[in-house]
Amino acid sequence: MVQKCVELASIPYSGKSLAASSAFGRYALAKRIMRSPRFGEVPVPIGLEVPVAVSPTWIKSYLASANGYVSGHASYSEHLNFLLQEVGCKVVQVVRHPCAVLSSWVNYIAEPGYYWSEAHQYLADKPFEERVRFMLHGGGFGGEGSLYYGGFKDVLLQVQGWLDAVDVLTVRYEDIVGEMGGGDNVKQLQVISDVLQHIGIDADSRFIETISSKLYGGTHTFRKGSVGGWRNLVGSSLEDEIMTELADLPFMKRVNYL
């Protein structure tokens, strides 16, 4: 939804992304050859749920050639944030209730074309709750656990740095979704204003309201989009398990999910 907000402000998607898929998925071998750290370079971790590190030289070149905004699903490090700031990127970190994220994530993994084919094959035929529990707690799979998916607690710990960084804007999905998604239009207008101001666009109230009127739905990751829609999938027992597992994380209090 933040991506759509930026696009409605006439900033196109560059087609570029920093994520674990930068080294996996289609053309994985070529990606690893071209993007792996060179001799003597300090690797930059970008994988969130899967450990992936790439060349800082490649990151700078990749970002500098972007014609528009760059999406991302990357773990925080001072090194990566330094590179982003050095090439002039304005970073927006989007967060959402963990139950909603897990619900969406396990459905995405089960769909054909997921970038890590081994994880897709392992999880695709499992029941929804079993997939959620696996992604929540993490675990090994493949031959004798030769492959490993990190638990969701570890993922959120890697996100925490983006929330703490002074030069990064944090946006809660629940605040930008607006009334059509079960949120609040006043909060939505404020978040849109904050995003535009953060990326250097001076917008008046009429322009912000125009973006608001077109914002809900119509993106490639959009499913149902309602604030509490995950409750139709996640029962109370599974919700309790998720919240208990994550309750001690600073992330949860920082973004008011406790």
Residue 248: alpha-carbon gap to chain centroid: 21
Quote the pLDDT of residue 211: 96
DSSP state of 36: S
Highest mean pLDDT among 4-13, 40-49, 103-112: 4-13
Higher pLDDT, 132 or 27: 132
Lowest mean pLDDT among 123-132, 145-154, 159-168: 145-154
pLDDT at 145: 63
Q: What whole-number distance in Å separates Cα of residue 73 and Cα of residue 93? A: 9
Per-residue b or e along 147-165, where b marks 16 or more CB atoms closer than 10 Å to that residue's CB = eebbbbbebbbbbebbbeb
Give the global pTM. Answer: 0.89
**Are residues 76 and 165 in contact, defined by beta-carbon separation less than 8 angstroms?**
yes
Parallel, antiparallel or unpaired: strands 139-141 and 91-95: unpaired
Tell me which of 21-25, 78-82, 156-160, 172-176 is least confident.
21-25
| pLDDT at residue 219 in the model | 55
Quick check: 46 and 32 in contact, CB under 8 A? Answer: no
pLDDT at position 38 is 87
| pLDDT (tens digit per residue) in 93-128 | 999 999 999 999 998 888 888 878 888 888 999 999
Q: Has residue 75 got a pLDDT over 60?
A: yes
- Within 13 Å, how many C-alpha atoms sit on residue 119's CB side? 25
Closest by alpha carbon to 201, among 5, 1, 60, 4? Answer: 5
**Using one digit for the tens of pLDDT, what is the confidence trace for 221-254?**
555 567 778 888 899 999 999 999 999 999 999 9
pLDDT at 62: 94
Please give the structure tokens belonging to residue 209: 């309201």
Please give the Cα distance from 253 to 31 (Å, whole number). Answer: 37
What is the C-alpha separation between 97 and 90, in angstroms, rounded? Answer: 24
